[in-house]
Amino acid sequence: MKLWSWVLIFIVCNLTFSTISAFRLSRSQPTERISGSAGDVLEDDPVGRLKVFVYELPSKYNKKILQKDPRCLNHMFAAEIYMQRFLLSSPVRTLNPEEADWFYVPVYTTCDLTPNGLPLPFKSPRMMRSAIQLIASNWPYWNRTEGADHFFVVPHDFGACFHYQEEKAIGRGILTLLQRATLVQTFGQRNHVCLKEGSITVPPYAPPQKMQSHLIPEKTPRSIFVYFRGLFYDVGNDPEGGYYARGARAAVWENFKDNPLFDISTEHPTTYYEDMQRAIFCLCPLGWAPWSPRLVEAVIFGCIPVIIADDIVLPFADAIPWEEIGVFVDEKDVPYLDTILTSIPPEVILRKQRLLANPSMKQAMLFPQPAQPGDAFHQVLNGLARKLPHEKSVYLRPGEKLLNWTAGPVADLKPW
Amino acid sequence: MMKLSMFRLSYWNRRGISFKSSPSLDPTFDGKSPSSVFWLVIHALCCLISLILGFRFSHLVLFFLFSTSVTNLYTTTPFLSVGNGGGVSQLLRLKPLETANSTAAKKNNSRVVVGRHGIRIRPWPHPNPIEVLRAHQLLSRVQKEQKSIYGVRSPKTVIVVTPTYVRTFQALHLTGVMHSLMLVPYDLVWIVVEAGGVTNETASFIAKSGLKTIHLGFDQKMPNTWEDRHKLETKMRLHALRMVREKKLDGIVMFADDSNMHSMELFDEIQIVKWVGALSVGILAHSGNADELSSSLLKNQQGKQPLMPIQGPSCDSSDKLVGWHVFNTQPYAKKTAVYVDEKAAVMPSKMEWSGFVLNSRLLWKESVDDKPAWVKDVHLLDDNGEEIDSPLSLVKDPSMVEPLGSCGRRVLLWWLRVEARADSKFPPGWIINSPLEITVPSKRTPWPDSSSELLVAIKEAKNSQSGTERRPTKAKGSKSKSSKGKQEPKTFDGVNTSTSS
């Protein structure tokens, strides 16, 4: 009997080791597992860990807006639209609100576009308010917790502050009605009014097919040291510089415009994606807001992101250890960027590239349609699942009111 | 405007002043303090002056007033701190950071502030050579890693077979091949077979490469017609293959003719060959006659686009080898060169040797374990009258040849035959020991204000010296493009010289 058990153990051990080694050999590039502060959670499956109830709002909050302007499907704020589509057909969705852990309100606040394609946030507070009034009057779940177990997707520049100018956004603050809800937003900056505790930061939407179609063979040698394409001075809104990007982009230009290691310019080349795959470092400086789709592009193309934005909170910061993947440079150190980048030891650079090559890392930054395991939708659900179970304080006593429904600028109180 | 930004001082928020929020954050703006009134007045005054003058007067004034506090690398004092409860703009005081800090000390001190910031520029914003060197080392390290991950797992030695002979253009052609081979990142053995026996000239030339070379001599002299030359080259290559067999060299045999042009990707691509591989060779068959070339181009432009003639494997849609592309000699029917230095287009043979690569184990005497049955033994083919015109004669079953370069779609080498006139002379080793004795004034100087009297320094060449000296002549048959910048050679007292501007 003893002999048989030893033989069995031996066989089992052999099998597991061979599968592990086979697994490693099948990958073409050696990668490292990514584990952030919450542990090794990138590949968690949210199905079974939470239930989400999707409110049925009248189509004027979502479908009709999209019909009016289908450009919303392609710009960088498209996450709100795809999130709804994903949730409607996801196994975490439940039709029974009594058993739901989280409630989702599908309202497209970032789809009122100018002719140029930039979203205007002026009507968004009213739209949000009207949606919340609707759900508060038609379902009892909002009043039960005053929104503490509801989540909203607000991918605009400064999230739920609903303004594109930072000072005005700070002045408005987060919409009062959303003070208790969980916000899924792209904006993240520590100690900032527009990022509340418990928000989930997501990457901006970048079209996955477009990026996949520009992949070049991986053995193309990386011959560009630092790459950046974009504005340094926003001559339309800030002609003298100093406001845009807190002067950081202008500093990059002034210090490194004649440095052969820095391939930086304001052009719009058609080979933008291909060039990123030939570069070691890609600059991701802040603009009017600290986040940008460049981070997503850099991760997809294996270019180490150099993040120049003080106090920024990057997407899924608890699941992805950004410190080990990207290079963070303070805005005050921008003039010494070349010293900083050239003094990174080669082993560190190779390790960062290995982490970037991890397919689960790339998946986590994308919003593919249809959804795939490990993508940004699932990371959002994982983040929501990690916040469960809700604390007791979430549920209000009957009659208790915490939110002030009449706070905020007078213009926001008008019906939408 | 950019320069002014370097001297910029941020002083106040142009967007106006708003009093929206908690008084705790508002140290300077409770009521109308005298300092704020003072600043308002100054601001108004500066605005008026700017209106009149047409530029931002206020900037300069404040710069000169407070120039002591300005250094080239400076940080602006932030004047708006962000905390909970909204933002307030304040007029900037040119005081250090402490004031802002003290007011916001009780809140979470965010070091990020909104508003205008200075643009930091370091005193010498130019690349540091040591850092550039380090960056290049990083780049090469990353590329090495990439190569080891995505490149060939266990690279094999490349055995290069080059037939050559001493002539005017030998140095030109061999330099190209030599430099290409010196850049190959794999182990290399260069077998140079020389017609007419081993000469010191060739030996000293290839010794400069630093590569592992085997210099073989072949006893026949290179004939003067292209056809005979091709035949002799084939024999020379077989001679080299015999050497490979004798020495039992292990690796991949490729044929690099000395006038061909190779790309670096070629050497990466041939590493994947198992037994016999075929590549696409771009054929550059031209006559060196500029007029003919342009006329043929014009003809092509009227009709379809001129395609590059390729010799190589042809595949069907499932990437299986189905046939061969062969160079179409039709258009050149009447005008091909027969003699080596003729000024007409040189035709490639039906299948050039350089388009094939072999695994050297095919040539070994002993039977190698998995030597395929469809390869004839080289030993038996030794020039016993059998016509061997391409490595295809070595295989019994041509369909087993592996197409390389994504099935022949990528052209990795180009075939070209260009030779100087048979009677052309060149200085030994292309070194001119004594300076040229005759200088001829150039007809057109590049400088517009050339003086009318051109300096003429003519010395009669001594007849005794003219025998030993070899004067460089402009060889015909070279590419016509290069002649555009040169002047016509002037004949001067029966002495042919040429000068270049």
| B315 has a pLDDT exceeding 60 | yes
Of A261, A311, A350, the CB nearest to B127: A261
What pLDDT is recorded for position B309?
A: 82
Q: pLDDT tens-digit profile of B175-200?
A: 999 999 999 988 999 999 999 888 88
CA–CA dist A173, A194 (Å, integer): 6
Q: In the β-sheet with B276-278, what is the strand arrangement from edge to edge?
A: B212-218, B188-195, B158-164, B252-255, B356-359, B276-278, B402-403
Within 8 A of B152 by CB-CB distance, chain A residues are none
Question: Which chain A residue's Cα is nearest to B153?
Answer: A28
Q: Which distant-in-sequence residues (6+ apart) come within 8 Å of B373 by Cβ? A: B396
Q: At a CB cut-off of 8 Å and minimum separation 6, what does B295 contact?
A: none
Pairs of residues, one from chain A and one from chain B, whose beta carbons lie less than 8 Å apart: 153
For the residues A53-74, what does the mean pLDDT come to? 90
Helix (H), strand (E), coil (C) string for A129-154: HHHHHHHHHHCCHHHHHCCCCEEEEE
Cα–Cα dist A253/A275, whole Å = 19
Look at residue A328 and tell me whether its pLDDT is greater than 90: yes
Confidence of residue B28 (pLDDT cuts 50, 70, 90): very low
Q: What is the pLDDT of residues A233-256, one digit of tens each?
A: 988 888 877 888 999 999 999 999
CA distance B395 to chain A (A): 33
Nearest to A264 by CA among A226, A305, A308, A303: A226
Of the pLDDT bands very low, low, confident and very high (cuts 50, 70, 90), residue A27 is very low
Please indicate whether, in this complex, the C-beta atoms of A280 and B15 are within 8 angstroms of each other: no
CB contact under 8 A, A30 and B149: yes
Whether the per-residue pLDDT at B501 is higher than 60: the answer is: no
Contact assessment for residue A102 and residue A87, using Cβ atoms and an 8 Å cutoff: no
- Indicate the residue of B8, B21, B143 with minimum beta-carbon distance to A242: B8
Rounded to a whole number of angstroms, the distance from the CA of A266 to the nearest CA of chain B is 16
Mean pLDDT of B1-5: 42
Q: Note the pLDDT of residue A213.
A: 94
Task: Compute the distance between CA of residue B200 and CA of residue B189 in angstroms, rounded to an integer.
Answer: 20
Q: Which residues of B214-250 are buried (b: 16+ CB within 10 A; e: fewer)?
A: bbbbbeeebeeebeebbbbbbbbbbbbbebbbeeebe
Ranking B158-167, B394-403, B437-446, B461-470 by mean pLDDT, the lowest is B461-470
What is the structure's pLDDT at B85? 29
pLDDT, residue B489, reads 42
**Who among B5, B120, B127 is closest to A332 (CB)?**
B120
Which of B175, B227, B249, B219 shows the shortest CA–CA distance to B347?
B227
* Separation of alpha carbons A283 and A397, rounded Å: 50
Number of other residues whose CB lies within 10 A of the CB of residue B275: 18
pLDDT confidence band for B2 (50 / 70 / 90):
very low
Chain A nearest-CA distance from B26, in A, is 14
**Interface residue of A27, A32, A191 to substitute, partner B, most B CBs within 10 Å:** A191
Note whether B112 contacts A311, CB cutoff 8 Å. Answer: yes
- A14 contacts: CB under 8 Å, gap ≥ 6: none
Backbone angles phi, psi at B416, to 5 degrees: -150, 140
Q: Which of B50, B117, B136 to mutate to test the interface with A (most CBs of A within 10 A)?
A: B117
Residue B89 has pLDDT above 60, yes or no: no
Q: Are A306 and A282 in contact (CB under 8 A)?
A: yes
B-chain residue closest to A161, CA distance: B86
CB pair distance less than 8 Å for A254 and B86: no
CA A246, A249, A251, A252: dihedral to nearest 10 degrees? 150
Q: What is the pTM of this model?
A: 0.68
Question: Which tokens hold the place of A159?
Answer: 């999230």
Residue of B nearest to A280 (CA): B139
Residue B139 has its nearest CB partner, among A167, A280, A350, at A280
* Whole-angstrom distance, CA of residue A118 vs CA of residue A164: 10
ipTM of this predicted structure: 0.84
Cβ contacts of A256 on chain B, cutoff 8 Å: 125
| Mutation target vs B (from A28, A195, A338; most B CBs, 10 A cutoff) | A338
Q: What angle do CA A29, A30, A33 make, to 5 degrees?
A: 125
Q: Which of A223, A221, A346, A302 is nearest to B147 (CA)?
A: A221
3-state secondary structure of B176: helix
What is the pLDDT, as a whole number, of residue A10?
58
Reduce the DSSP state of residue B102 to 3 states and report it.
Answer: helix
B149 contacts in A (CB within 8 Å)?
Answer: 28-30
Weakest mean pLDDT among A227-231, B131-135, B270-274, B289-293? B289-293
Model pLDDT, residue A349: 95
**Least confident interval from A268-282, B138-152, B299-313:** B299-313
Q: In this predicted model, what pLDDT tens digit does every residue of B258-304 receive, in sequence order?
A: 889 999 889 988 898 888 888 888 888 775 566 655 566 656 555 55
Q: Is the pLDDT of residue B474 over 60?
A: no
Give B49 or B379, the one with higher predicted confidence.
B49
Q: Which residues of A touch B87 (CB under 8 A)?
A: 167, 170-171
- Chain A, nearest residue to B19 by Cα: A171
Mean pLDDT over residues A145-172, rounded? 89
Compute the distance between CA of residue B245 and CA of residue A366 in angstroms, rounded to an integer. Answer: 56
Chain B residue with the nearest C-alpha to that of A233 = B2
Burial of B371 (0-12, 13-18, 19+ CB in 10 A): middle
Instruction: Provide, as residue numbers in chain A, all residues whose Cβ is less than 8 Å from the Cβ of B8.
Output: 240, 242
> Where are the alpha helices (H) located in A358-410, listed in sequence order?
359-364, 376-386
pLDDT band at residue A232 under the 50/70/90 scheme: very high
DSSP string, B328-388: --GGGSS-B--BTT-SSBPPP-SS-GGGEEEEGGGG-SSPPTT--TTB--HHHHTTSS---
The per-residue pLDDT for A333 is 93
A33-42, A103-112, A379-388, B77-86: lowest mean pLDDT where? Answer: B77-86
A242–B18 C-beta distance less than 8 A? no
Which residues, at least 6 apart from B338, have a Cβ–Cβ distance to it below 8 Å?
B225, B226, B227
CA angle B58, B61, B67 (to 5 degrees): 130
Q: Which residues contact B73 (CB under 8 A, 6 or more apart)?
A: A335, B120, B121, B122, B123
Nearest of A111, A58, A53 to residue A81 by alpha carbon: A111
- What is residue B265's predicted lDDT score, i.e. its pLDDT? 87
Nearest Cα residue in chain B from A173: B86
Q: How close B487 gets to chain A, by Cα (Å)?
A: 38
Separation of alpha carbons B149 and A222, rounded Å: 13
pLDDT at residue B293 in the model:
56
Interatomic CA distance for residues A414 and A246, integer angstroms: 35
- How confident is the model over B221-270, as pLDDT tens digits? 888 888 888 888 888 998 898 888 888 889 999 999 988 999 988 998 88
Nearest by CB: B132 against A223, A242, A261 = A261
Residue count of chain A: 416
Mean pLDDT of A271-280: 94
Query: What is the distance in angstroms between the Cα of B53 and the nearest Cα belonging to chain A?
Result: 18
Weakest mean pLDDT among A300-304, B4-8, B193-197, B468-472: B4-8
pLDDT tens digits, residue range B381-439? 555 545 677 777 777 777 788 888 888 788 899 988 888 877 777 877 788 777 777 77
> Which residues from B are below 8 Å from A338, CB to CB?
127-128, 131, 135
Q: Shortest Cα distance from B46 to chain A (angstroms)?
A: 18
3-state secondary structure of B24: helix
Partner residue opposite B119 with nearest CB, options A30, A251, A343:
A251
Chain A residue numbers touching B89 (CB-CB < 8 A):
167
DSSP A82-143: HHHHHHHTSTTB-S-GGG-SEEE----TT--B-TTSPBP-SSHHHHHHHHHHHHHHH-SHHH
Cβ of B146 within 8 Å of Cβ of A221? The answer is yes
Residues of B within 8 A of A266 (CB-CB) are none
Q: Give B76→chain A minimum CA distance, Å.
A: 10
Nearest by CB to residue A170, choosing from B75, B82, B132, is B82
Say how far apart CA A134 and CA A131 lie, in whole Å: 5
Q: Which residues of B touch A335 (CB under 8 A)?
A: 73, 120-122, 125
Choose the mutation target among A196, A219, A348, A353 for the interface with B, i.e. most B CBs under 10 Å: A219
CA dist., res. B116 & res. B14, Å (int): 9
Q: Which of B6, B138, B148 best tests the A interface by mutation, with the highest count of A CBs <10 A?
A: B138
Is the CB of B150 less than 8 angstroms away from the CB of A191?
A: no
Q: pLDDT tens digit string along A80-138? A: 999 999 999 999 999 998 999 999 999 999 998 999 888 898 888 999 999 999 999 99
Averaged pLDDT, A270-279: 94
What band does B80 get if pLDDT is binned at 50, 70 and 90? very low
Query: Within 10 A of A236 (CB to CB), how many other CB atoms are there?
Result: 8
The verdict on a CB contact (< 8 Å) between A171 and B111 is no
A243, A258, A261 ranked by CB distance to B116: nearest: A243
Asked if pLDDT for residue B31 goes beyond 90, the answer is no
Give the range with max mean pLDDT: A400-409, B22-31, B36-45, B474-483: B36-45
B-chain residues near A166 (CB < 8 A): 114
Closest CB from B2, B114, B134 relative to A166: B114
Task: Give pLDDT tens digits for A339-357.
Answer: 999 999 999 999 999 999 9
Token duo for residue A309: 């934005």
Please report which confidence band the pLDDT of residue B347 belongs to, taking 50, 70 and 90 as the band edges: confident
